[in-house]
Amino acid sequence: MKNMKFILMAIALIALMPSCKKNRENATYRIHLTDQPGEYNNVYVDIQEIKIHSNNGGWIDVTDFTPGVYDLLEFNNGMDTLLCSVDLPAGRVTQIRLILGNSNAVVVNGITHPLSTPSGQSSGLKLNVQHELVAGNSYDIWLDFDAAKSVVANGNGGYLLKPVIRVFTDLTNGKIKGYVTPMFAAPVVYAIQGQDTLASIPNSDGFFMICGLSGVYDIHIIPATSAYSNVYLNNVQTQFGVITDLGIITIP
C-alpha cells in the first residue's frame, strides 16, 4: 500500500513537469492603457483585438482581453487600466497591434462626434516596440494615448482619429507630481525634454502627475487666463522608480 502511494505521487509529479517547464520558458507581459489629456469632454476608443509579435513566437492573438470602448480621459494624472496580461515566449517583442472597432467618438461641448479612422488603419494600429523578455520575469508597458494630438478636426465639423501613442515600460517610468493653485487659472502642466513635450491637465483639486519620464525635464505651467503668469521649473531630474514631488506650486 505504501509503495502504491509513492507510485501515485511520482505519476502526479511527472504530470506537472511539462506545465512547470512551460512557465519557466515564458515571461508575463502586461499592457496598460493611459492618456495624455485633451480639452474634450470624452474621447472614446473602441479596442476590439490585441495582437503581439515576438521573434520567438510570431503573431500571437491575445485572448485574455475583453473588447470594449475606453474613455481615454479617465486615465489621466497617473491613472491607467490593465488591458491584458499574457504569457509570451522569452525573446524580443517587436510589435503590438490594436484592432479598432467602429465606436470611436469624441464629445466636444456636450456634443458627440464619431471619430473616423484613416483607411490605412484597417489592418490595425501598429506600434513598433523592442522589448527583450527574459523567461520567468514579468513586464509592464503602458500605451500612452495623446488625446490632444490623436483627435484631429477635419475642417467640415467632423473629427478624425489619428492615434499618437507613446509606449513606455516599467524601466522608463519615472514620475513627476504636484499640486497647482489656484485652479481658477485653468493651468496646463508641460514636461519638456528636447523636442518631446508631455502634458497634464490638473484635476479639480490641482493635482497632476506625468508618467513615463526618464532624465531631465523643464516644467512649464501655463495658465489659460491672462490674469496669471507662467511658471517655469527648469532641470527637474527624474529616474526609474522615483516619484519626483514638486509640492504645491502657486501661479502668480
Instruction: Give me the CATH number covering residue 36.
Output: 2.60.40
Closest CA to 58 of 93, 108, 107: 93
Span 124-138, average pLDDT: 89
Range of the domain at 188: 173-252
Span 175-195, average pLDDT: 94
Q: What CATH number has the domain bearing residue 205? A: 2.60.40.4130
pLDDT at 190 over 80: yes
pLDDT tens for each residue of 223-239: 998 899 999 999 999 98
In a domain, 222, yes or no: yes
Residues 62 and 52 in one domain: yes
Which of 171, 197, 220 marks a domain boundary?
171
Which of the pair, 21 or 185, is modelled with greater confidence? 185
Beta bridge partners of 112: 107
Least confident span in 55-64, 121-130, 135-144, 238-247: 121-130
pLDDT at 63 over 60: yes
Which of 171, 200, 217 marks a domain boundary?
171
Residues 160 and 177 in one domain: no
In a domain, 178, yes or no: yes
In three-state secondary structure terms, 85 is strand
40 φψ region: left (φ > 0), alpha (ψ -120 to 50), beta (else):
beta
pLDDT at 6 over 70: no
Assign 121 a pLDDT band (cuts: 50, 70, 90): low
Residues 164 and 177 in one domain: no
pLDDT at 17 over 90: no
Number of domains in the chain: 2
Which residue type, as a one-letter code, is found at position 165? I
pLDDT at 215 over 80: yes
Q: What backbone torsions phi and psi does residue 192 show, to the nearest 5 degrees?
A: -120, 130
- The pTM (predicted TM-score) of the whole model is 0.79
- pLDDT at residue 22 in the model: 43
- pLDDT at residue 123 in the model: 65
> 6, exposed or middle or buried, with CB in 10 Å at 0-12, 13-18, 19+?
exposed
Residues 59 and 136 in one domain: yes
Q: For residues 100-131, b (16+ Cβ closer than 10 Å) or e, as one string?
A: beeebbbebeeeebebebeeeeeebbebeeeb
Question: Are 189 and 181 contacting, i.e. CB atoms less than 8 angstroms apart?
Answer: no
pLDDT at 18 over 50: no
Strands (E), 40-161: 42-54, 58-61, 68-71, 81-89, 91-100, 105-108, 111-116, 125-133, 138-146, 151-153, 159-161
In three-state secondary structure terms, 121 is helix
In a domain, 126, yes or no: yes
As a whole number, the mean pLDDT across the chain is: 85
pLDDT at 81 over 80: yes
pLDDT at 210 over 80: yes
Closest CA to 45 of 141, 117, 152: 117
DSSP state for residue 38 in the 8-state scheme = -
Which of 147, 171, 195 marks a domain boundary?
171
Non-local CB neighbours of 65 within 8 Å, separated by 6+ positions: 49, 50, 83, 84
Residues 70 and 93 in one domain: yes
